[in-house]
Amino acid sequence: MKIFIDTANLNEIKEAADMGLLDGVTTNPSLVAKEGHKDFKSMLEKICSIVDGDISAEVVSTDYEGIVKEGRELAKIHKNIVVKVPLIKEGLKAVKTFSSEGIKTNVTLCFSPSQALLAAKAGAYLVSPFVGRLDDISYNGMELISQIVQIYGNYDYQTQVLVASIRHPIHFVESCLMGADVCTMPFKVIEQLAKHPLTDIGLEKFLDDWKKLNK
Ligand code: G3P
């Protein structure tokens, strides 16, 4: 299971990288806007200098020519850039082109198994089903992950399932059990993965007992 951080906040990326468990970074236009990065290229260069792994950078064009032009420019920034493309018809056409040029893609905004199948057929490197946003509208986000993992297994597609829109550690654990390839999470959820109240209580007791012994 690869762990990616879902943020454009450089401090959070550094802190997660220092924990020694970060395999990549995903960004999207909303996350970049939230951090106020006006210079997208320089932001991506900084991220690539912090993390040696897949760094997803999203296009904002919605037509084939625009997506291809933008994606080729993004791919030139660093060898680890993965071009993030929306799961729309024009996007799938562009993914096919990128795949023939050896440019890695992350097909995003996936909400159904049929969309995921088309992304794999187009040659996507990663597909990003959004589990939290499905849960938000009373669909079972994790059921989608289970379906995609099964379908990709049935036909031996190499596209990696990147579970996105993760809101809590249970999404992560279920993704691991289902055999998804990657989970991308906000920094807060990465921190939650390491936390357990019994660890904190146990540690406090160990340290208290040690102090008593050495009084
Ligand atoms: O980066 C895509 C995805 O992870 C967004 O998550 O929380 O905005 O639904 P969220």
Q: Indicate whether residue 133 lines ligand 1 (CB < 6 A).
A: yes
Q: Indicate whether residue 26 lines ligand 1 (CB < 6 A).
A: yes
Count of positions (residues) in the chain: 215
Report CA(214)–ligand 1 centroid distance (Å): 50
Mean pLDDT, rounded, for 9-14: 98
Report CA(206)–ligand 1 centroid distance (Å): 39
Q: 78-102 pLDDT, tens per residue?
A: 999 999 999 999 999 999 999 999 9
Q: 97-129 pLDDT, tens per residue?
A: 999 999 999 999 999 999 999 999 999 999 999
Predicted local distance difference test score (pLDDT) of residue 163? 98
Which residue, by CA, sits nearest to atom 6 of ligand 1? 165
Report CA(50)–ligand 1 centroid distance (Å): 22
Which residue, by CA, sits nearest to atom 8 of ligand 1? 165
Mean pLDDT, rounded, for 59-87: 98
Q: How far is CA 47 from the centre of its chain?
A: 14
Which residue, by CA, sits nearest to atom 9 of ligand 1? 165
Spatial contact of 132 and 141, defined as CB atoms under 8 Å apart: yes
pLDDT at 215 over 90: no
The pair of structure tokens assigned to 78 is: 């660093």
Predicted local distance difference test score (pLDDT) of residue 214? 86
Q: How far is CA 207 from CA 38, 137, 199, 204, in A?
A: 47, 46, 12, 5
Give the pTM.
0.96
Which residue, by CA, sits nearest to atom 3 of ligand 1? 165
Q: What sign results for the dihedral spanned by CA atoms 112, 113, 114, 115?
A: positive
Q: Ligand 1: which atom is nearest the Cα of residue 167? A: 7
Q: Ligand 1: which of 4, 5, 6, 182 to mutate, most ligand atoms within 8 Å of CB?
A: 6
Q: With CA atoms as reference, report the closest residue to 3 among 188, 196, 195, 172.
A: 172
Predicted local distance difference test score (pLDDT) of residue 105? 98
Please list the active-site residues.
84
